[in-house]
């Protein structure tokens, strides 16, 4: 390994001012997401929402989130990422307060959309909201490129740590099955805690630097249009649209429904589900930290593809699990694979995009998947209500596995710069290493 490839310890990376603030804000935001991820579906089910109605809600949430994410991605270079790191968590805080005191369907729909309640999956770590393109650019701009995988892995660790705390709080503040008449009072503490955590994330973000984009052509930065298409990263974006659309269709089939599925399939209550997610987050807490080592050993594209295949295949035994405990074990294994792969996927996209187009690529690469993900829950709600509790997971398994093979075929010859540099240095030193990916020339 070259010195450059190994520069900076984990602690040194985390001591970077902006990255430490992003890390802390991510912990707080993941606490909020984890609590809402458990409380909101069960609260809505208690109010009388069935699977199809939840699907319509998640459709609304996903469409609004897609629009917000794309807008943020385009505007980040002009406005700066910091603003969105403040505003979006503040919206989530307001929505948490609204959910703590309202049972009006229209109001719940509006604020679920603004706060992206229902977006993401299960145990809560990972996606923090539509400002993620802005956050990703801040991460890249705050560290040395050789530490990019470590930085994204640390932020992934922050997500898991926050989700661990959030699911623990949900388990403590949760309740057994409750009557509709007292639902608001019962779920109010959970939603208020979620609101406070989101507000803390917003306040922390106020201390971030407002980095400009690291344009590869600085003279063009001031002339850049807010809604300019990322031409230099076109090759990357088109491929990501294919793989992310497939993956989004799969995730949309099961992700927003994990809590609801456990509630319906095994009659699990908020406490039981919170305890399961707590165990998942404890076991997967350090999963992101092994991601850079796996990427170094096997190559980012190869290990990411393998892990996504594992995620897809594990959905079938999960869907067919006869008991809550067995389902929980399989779900935990799957979440471990997902959390190892997540920072590598995010890091790879930013590494391969043109520096002046990173936020736009991060946003646009997920746009088709968000649209497909928006439509999938409606079908899933119908299937869960009228066909089968396992069929949505089985369909998702096939689609997600296909997305993994497509990802490998598209990017197997497109290694990130640090892997190319490491291989070239090894060859120059006449060191024999396993064959790794070669970069494509665009």
Q: Establish if 79 belongs to a structural domain.
A: yes
Rounded CA gap, 258 and 380, in Å?
A: 11
Q: What percent of the chain has pLDDT over 90?
A: 27
Residue range 374-411, pLDDT digits in tens: 777 778 878 888 888 888 999 999 999 999 999 999 99
Burial label, 1 (beta-carbon count in 10 A; 0-12, 13-18, 19+): exposed
pLDDT given at position 407: 96
Average pLDDT of the residues in 326-336 = 93
The confidence score (pLDDT) of residue 284 equals: 84
Task: Determine the average pLDDT of the residues in 416-427.
Answer: 80
Mean model confidence pLDDT for the chain:
81
- Segment 251-301, tens digit of pLDDT: 888 877 888 888 888 888 777 887 888 888 888 887 777 888 898 889 999
Over residues 321-325, mean pLDDT: 93
Write the CA distances from 371 to 65, 260, 294, 377, integer angstroms: 9, 22, 32, 11
Q: Quick check: is 219 in a domain?
A: no
Q: How many domains in the chain?
A: 1
Between helices 391-411 and 300-319, what is the axis angle to 10°? 170
Residue 305 falls within a domain, yes or no?
Answer: yes
- The confidence band for 225, taking pLDDT boundaries of 50, 70 and 90, is low
How far, in Å, CA of 89 to CA of 208, rounded? 14
**Of 222 and 364, the one with more pLDDT:** 364
- Residue 110's domain comprises 4-209+231-428
pTM: 0.73
How do residues 334-354 score in pLDDT, each as one tens digit? 999 998 998 899 889 988 988
pLDDT score at 399: 95
Whether 19 is covered by a domain: the verdict is yes
Residue bearing the bigger pLDDT, 28 or 296: 28
Whether residue 111 is contained in a domain is answered as: yes
- Residue 383, domain CATH: 1.20.1250.20
On whether residue 440 sits in a domain, the answer given is no
Q: Residue 226: inside a domain, yes or no?
A: no
Q: Is residue 333 part of a domain?
A: yes
Question: Band of the pLDDT at 124, cuts 50, 70, 90?
Answer: low
pLDDT at 441 over 50: no
Q: Decide if pLDDT at 174 tops 80.
A: no
pLDDT at residue 47 above 50? yes
pLDDT band at 98 (very low <50, low <70, confident <90, very high): very high
pLDDT tier at 2 (50, 70, 90 boundaries)? very low
Predicted confidence (pLDDT) at residue 25 exceeds the cutoff of 90: yes
């Amino acid at each position: 390994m070259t010195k450059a490839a190994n520069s900076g310890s984990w602690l040194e990376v985390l001591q970077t001012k902006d990255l430490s603030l992003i890390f802390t804000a991510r912990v707080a935001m993941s606490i909020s997401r984890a609590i809402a991820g458990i409380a909101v579906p069960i609260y809505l089910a208690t109010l009388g929402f069935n699977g199809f109605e939840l699907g319509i809600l998640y459709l609304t949430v996903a469409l609004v989130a897609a629009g917000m994410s794309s807008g943020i991605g385009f505007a980040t270079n002009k406005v700066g990422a910091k603003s969105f790191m403040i505003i979006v968590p503040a919206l989530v805080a307001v929505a948490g307060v609204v959910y703590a005191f309202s049972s009006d369907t229209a109001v719940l729909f509006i604020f679920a959309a603004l706060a992206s309640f229902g977006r993401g999956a299960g145990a809560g770590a990972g996606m923090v909201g539509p400002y993620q393109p802005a956050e990703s650019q801040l991460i890249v701009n705050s560290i040395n490129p050789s530490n990019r995988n470590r930085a994204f892995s640390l932020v992934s660790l922050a997500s898991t740590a926050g989700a661990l705390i959030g699911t623990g709080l949900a388990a403590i503040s949760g309740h057994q099955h409750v009557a509709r008449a007292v639902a608001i009072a019962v779920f109010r503490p959970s939603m208020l805690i979620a609101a406070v955590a989101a507000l803390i994330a917003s306040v922390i973000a106020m201390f971030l630097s407002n980095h400009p984009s690291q344009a590869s052509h600085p003279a063009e930065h001031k002339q850049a249009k807010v809604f300019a298409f990322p031409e230099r990263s076109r090759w990357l974006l088109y491929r990501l649209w294919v793989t992310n659309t497939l993956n989004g269709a799969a995730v949309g089939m099961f992700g927003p429904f994990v809590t609801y599925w456990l509630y319906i399939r095994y009659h699990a209550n908020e406490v039981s589900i919170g305890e399961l997610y707590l165990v998942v987050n404890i076991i997967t807490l350090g999963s992101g930290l092994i991601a850079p080592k796996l990427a170094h050993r096997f190559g980012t594209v190869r290990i990411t593809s393998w892990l996504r295949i594992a995620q897809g295949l594990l959905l079938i035994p999960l869907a067919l699990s006869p008991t809550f405990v067995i389902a929980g074990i399989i779900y935990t294994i799957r979440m471990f694979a997902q959390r190892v792969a997540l920072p590598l996927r995010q890091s790879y996209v930013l590494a391969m995009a043109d520096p002046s187009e990173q936020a736009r690529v991060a946003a646009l690469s997920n746009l088709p998947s968000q649209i497909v993900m928006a439509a999938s829950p409606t079908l899933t709600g119908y299937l869960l209500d009228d066909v089968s509790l396992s069929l949505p997971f089985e369909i998702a398994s096939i689609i997600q596995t296909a997305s993994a093979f497509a990802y490998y075929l598209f990017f197997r010859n497109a290694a990130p710069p640090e892997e190319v540099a490491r291989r070239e240095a090894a060859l120059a030193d006449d060191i024999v290493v396993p064959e790794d990916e070669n970069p494509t020339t665009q």
